[in-house]
Amino acid sequence: MSNYRIEGDVLGKVKVPADKFWKSQTQRSLENFPIGIETMPQSILNAFALLKEACAIANLSYQKITQEQCDAIEHVCEKILDGQYNDQFPLHVWQTGSGTQTNMNFNEVITTLGNQYADQEILHPNDIVNCSQSSNDTFPTALHMMMAQKTIDELLPACERMITELKRIEEENQGLIKIGRTHLQDATPLYFSQEISGYRSMIEHSMDQIQSSLKYVKELAIGATAVGTGINCPKDFDQKVCSILKEKTHIDFVPDPNKFHALTSKDACVLLSGAIKGLACNCMKIANDIRWLASGPRCGIHEIDIPSNEPGSSIMPGKVNPTQCEAMTMVSVQVMGNDTAIGMAASQGNFELNVFMPLIAYNIDQSIQLMSDAIDSFTLRCLHGLKPNKETIDKNLHHSLMLVTCLNPVIGYEKAGKASQYAYHHNCSLKEAILELGYLTEEEFDLYVDPKKMI
């Protein structure tokens, strides 16, 4: 028995492995684009299956396809969504920039499996499965669906869990005063809980920015077909498909009000990617702060303790490193790079179509995935075990020269500055400097220099 079969298209005949359900266009893509190891993300494949199912239901309502044809398409799409045919979607990211071959990969696999299910040839990849559609509107639609679903299902919940953990740290450490730092130098005091609240607010702001960007991500290109005019597509097809998708996903998908915009502009992708980059920047700052504050344990700042998750060195016994912080910062840098690629790709729309969409899909899928995973790991393996080192915090607080700031209204800025410099150069405490310079009595110093009064 032959290990391949012959499939034909307008360009001729192609050998397709006998155990595969795709046809000629998928096979041609595999042979013509042996580039890299990156394949289409599973998330966009799931979105495509859901979209093909919704389009079939909409087409049935217009009597563009029969009930039997719709049933076959729905049956296969549900199986795909269950993960039964993941190996039938092998195409590389580095293919045609419209994603046409991924659209045809779906049309071909659904056709083969649907005809097997119906036990007769009732489906055709172009005429039936792709009815009322074009690759030019299905790929950007699936892209937007994937971005919305993955952000709502994975990224935003991860952020919520991080916020919850930060709130716990705040509440458990009320009243603990520490020295603040600006420009990496000593500054005036603040509560430890206030510092943590800054981190919490960063993630809350990032969440708000991400959620705001989803308004535009929820606008779908379906119904635009080839160039935005909707050729070969029934009136209000876009509304019906969006209504079906909303029912299935509980996400408020709507048609893009201007289909010419929907095909050629990727500004919604840029907006969401930018908001995720903003989250990455905030996470980078938080992770860097924590690894600096945990530095030591003997020769660093060591104002906080973080969990000891694994040995940190292959040569230095007992060393423990801030590995969760390092993972978070690496992920953040990757997300920043992805955002640059997405922005450049979005700027390359030519006439009626942007042909960098697989690249955008791959990068934004990775950004959402990496940030979701990194935030959850950081929350569980770093924040959950984070504790303030109260002894060091108190020592640093009372050793700081910037407590002199509260004396500005009492002895004036100039004398306060001289006292600070005197203490630094004579390696004495601020109190000793003030007393030696004769600016205040000991009783006056104790009255005015109180960290609680500086917050």
Which of 212, 308, 313, 347 is labelled catalytic? Answer: 313
Which of 2, 183, 314, 425 is labelled catalytic? Answer: 183
Structure tokens at 331: 């992920």
Closest of 320, 315, 272 to residue 296, by C-alpha: 320
Closest of 186, 339, 349, 355 to residue 277, by C-alpha: 339
Q: Phi/psi at 179 (nearest 5 deg)?
A: -80, 140
Residue with tokens 């509440």: 171
Asked if residue 161 lies in contact with residue 376, where contact means CB atoms within 8 angstroms, the answer is yes
In our burial notation (b when 16+ CB lie closer than 10 A, e otherwise), range 242-280 reads: bbbbeeebebebebbeebebbbbbbebbbbbbbbbbbbb
Asked if residue 157 lies in contact with residue 151, where contact means CB atoms within 8 angstroms, the answer is no
Catalytic (active site) residue 144:
no
Structure tokens at 36: 């890299």
Contacts (Cβ under 8 Å, ≥6 apart) of 319: 311, 312, 313
Contacts (Cβ under 8 Å, ≥6 apart) of 411: 419, 439, 440
Residue with tokens 């690496």: 330
Q: Rg for the chain (alpha carbons), in Å?
A: 30
Catalytic (active site) residue 197:
no
Query: What is the identity of the amino acid at 378?
Result: F
Asked if residue 172 lies in contact with residue 385, where contact means CB atoms within 8 angstroms, the answer is no
Asked if residue 268 lies in contact with residue 212, where contact means CB atoms within 8 angstroms, the answer is no
**Beta pairing, strands 12-17 & 4-9:** antiparallel
What end-to-end distance do the CA atoms of the chain give, in Å? 83
Residues forming the active site: 183, 313
